[in-house]
A and B are shown apart, each in its own frame.
Chain A
Amino acid sequence: MLREPIDLAKCVEPDRVRREVYTDPQIFELEMQRIHEQVWIYCGHESQVPKAGDYYTLQIGRQPMLMVRGADGKISVLYNRCPHRGNMMVGDRHGNAGEFFRCSYHAWTFHHDGKLRQIPMYESGYTGTRFTRDNPDCSMKKAARVEVYRGFVFASLAKDGPTLKEFLGPALVAFDDMCDRSPEGEVEVVPNCFRVIQHSNWKIFLENQLDALHPSVTHQSTGRAAHNVEKELEKKAKKGETALKYHMLSAFATVTIDKWDNFQTINYPHGHCVLTGYMGLRPQDPDTLAYDKIMIKAYGQKRFEEIVGVNIHHVIVYPGLSVQSPLQQLRAIRPLGVDRTLTEIWHFRLKGAPEAIYRRSLAYYNLVNSPATLVNADDLENFWKCHQGLSSDGGDWVTFGRHFGHDIDKDGHVESAPNCGTSEAPMRNQMKAWAEYMRA
């Protein structure tokens, strides 16, 4: 059945959203144009491309791009496209271009910053044509703007707009919290990217990330199973021995549903949100104490307390990034289509921190974020079911009414009310930003 085009101005209300926002391919095209191909999108971390000529490909909106390190150490973000006939410049996901890019079709070559280097038999072939060497159309096109914050590379395909810092605003804490936890103030990438495709609209994933109500429902099977094995291990443990625990899994069962309200969400302009929560716990095991000592030496007691006192579970950098800074992990969103979303999942090492600290968060990376995840399988099942359900005529709206009306407006940001951690404020905030972008 053909439908009237939906009126964008009427699809988002403060506490509910039209289902077409998730399922309409035309709206998807528009949001790629008006959101993803405008705002600052995460490209990758500098340490992914340590040497001159190293490149990594990525997608910004619908645009195949590449991030590359030049001989001068500078990072460029280019459209992965030869200006001659449009051939993609590199076909691998990552690699090293050598001293320059060379198109595999007709051997046009380009410097690492995209500038034309040579066209074969240029004089005989192009004299008198409009394709002069200084014509910018003969170079690889660059992303309009590139900025790096503490090693994290972002690009915007729009000439104008807020700077990266203005755009991120208080969401900068995602990168500060991650880097500050290193005694050297820096992180480096663990050279492995887990890539998982979700069969659902990209917004469904972002909405789930700060949804504190879902874990004890969606993940109870994992929580219960982990808790049962913990109990068995406890029984088997010899006197004086501490049995192994799987806190990050068993919490889904041991933290009862009402307890998740102890979280708080803080919602910022541009759709960014922070979920504060249990990761602020300070364990007292020997590994942590050894790490604390190194940190105090590097920063002094006062600054150290500030750093480890940051109580963040999750930061959403809308519309493309979900960061778990205390675990040094992030998931970048690459929408592939209205109902297909690629997540690129990275883990970072705190430079100068003991190996044990790296291994602790690595365990989370492997158990929760790997393609054989013990947790996300049930999320992805829900996302798919959501997307399928939203394709039906059974209802027109997706509702975000939980604790609606109780959000607290505090000069530029909105907090969920005390003891309302399961509030749907983050979804309301994301859709508010979405509507503002789409109105443009």
Chain B
Amino acid sequence: MLKRLKKTVKKRLKAAVDGQHSVQHAVEQFLYHQADLLDRKEWERWIGLFADDGIYWMPPEPSYTTWDGTPAIFAEDKNLMRVRMGRVLHPDAWSQRPLWGTNHVVSNVILEKSQPNGDLVVRSRFHMLELRRDDVRHFAGAYLHHLKKTQEGYRIKLQRVDMTNAQAAYDYVLQVWV
């Protein structure tokens, strides 16, 4: 009797841990995929990862608690994201003419909260190298993703980007999302 109980508990624990691992795995894959789309300049697909009411937000500094009604480096819904995409794809976006590219590395993925319906809050760290003409810039910081589980996979309700160098003076500007 006792032996059987022990076995059941062990089995359930393993299942829970496995479940946790598979969520961790799935969410990591999602974050890597998102970063990869940025680096490959697949803007349309990148925007597609956001929920219809999704927001991409980069506050000027970590103490901010809302994007609504505050100064923001980025505070974009999908409409504004499409304006930004349209701009960089326009043949006369002069600042887009020179060679430029980015390389993101995403790591330190921590599952902060998981809801019974599969929605998640995930923290991670990123490092981005940008090449523009002959100049290299580095940007690094923390992502906070509020993810909604849908049949098509995760969709972003809110992506908060706390960039460590957000408060420093910008040598030139940022043109697309980090």
Contact = CB atoms under 8 A, between A and B. Distances in A.
Interface of A: 190, 192, 194-199, 218, 220-222, 224-226, 228-229, 232-233, 244, 246, 249, 342, 347, 355, 358-359, 362, 365-367, 370-374, 376-378, 380-382
Nearest to B72: A366
A229 B71 contact: no
Contact of A192 (B71, B84, B174): B71
10 contacts: A190-B71, A194-B71, A196-B169, A196-B170, A197-B169, A221-B90, A225-B83, A225-B86, A246-B83, A374-B83
A294 B130 CA distance: 49
A198 B95 CA distance: 13
B169 A220 contact: no
Contacts of B80: 367
A371 B173 contact: yes
Looking at chain A's contact residues, the main secondary structure is helix
A222 B87 contact: yes
A372 B82 contact: no
B173 A362 contact: no
A247 to B, nearest CB: 13
Nearest to A222: B87
A45 to B, nearest CB: 15
Interface residues of B, number: 35
A244 B79 contact: yes
A358 B71 CA distance: 11
Nearest to A226: B83
Contacts of B72: 366, 370
Interface in B124-178: 168-175
Interface in B46-89: 58, 60-61, 69-75, 79-80, 82-89
Nearest to A334: B169
Q: Which 7 A-B pairs have the closest CB atoms?
A: A225-B86, A221-B90, A221-B93, A381-B95, A195-B169, A192-B71, A371-B170
A194 B60 contact: yes
A347 B69 CA distance: 13
B53 to A, nearest CB: 14
A418 to B, nearest CB: 30
A380 B87 CA distance: 15
Nearest to A345: B71
B174 A378 contact: no
Contact of A362 (B60, B71, B89): B71
Contacts, number: 107
Nearest to A191: B71
Given A196-B170, A220-B90, A371 B83 contact: no
A367 B82 CA distance: 13
B79 A372 contact: no
Contacts of B79: 229, 233, 244
A374 B87 contact: yes
Contacts of B85: 225
Residue picked from B74, B79, B83, B90, most chain A C-beta under 10 Å: B83
Residue picked from B60, B70, B94, most chain A C-beta under 10 Å: B94
Contacts of A376: 173
Given A195-B169, A196-B169, A197-B171, A370 B84 contact: no
B71 A221 contact: no
Contacts of A228: 86
Given A192-B60, A378-B95, A372 B83 contact: no
Contact of A196 (B75, B83, B94, B173): B173
Nearest to B88: A221
B95 A225 contact: no
A376 B93 CA distance: 11
A365 B75 CA distance: 12
A366 B75 contact: yes
A377 B83 CA distance: 14
A142 to B, nearest CB: 27
A301 to B, nearest CB: 30
Given A225-B85, A229-B83, 7 more contacts: A190-B71, A225-B83, A225-B84, A225-B89, A377-B173, A377-B175, A380-B173
Nearest to B91: A221
A221 B90 CA distance: 5
A359 B75 contact: no
B173 A373 contact: yes
A195 B166 CA distance: 10
Contacts of A233: 79
B58 A372 contact: yes
Contacts of B86: 221, 224-226, 228-229
B94 A381 contact: yes
A367 B81 CA distance: 11
A43 B115 CA distance: 50
B92 A220 contact: yes
A224 B90 CA distance: 8
B95 A362 contact: no
B60 A221 contact: no
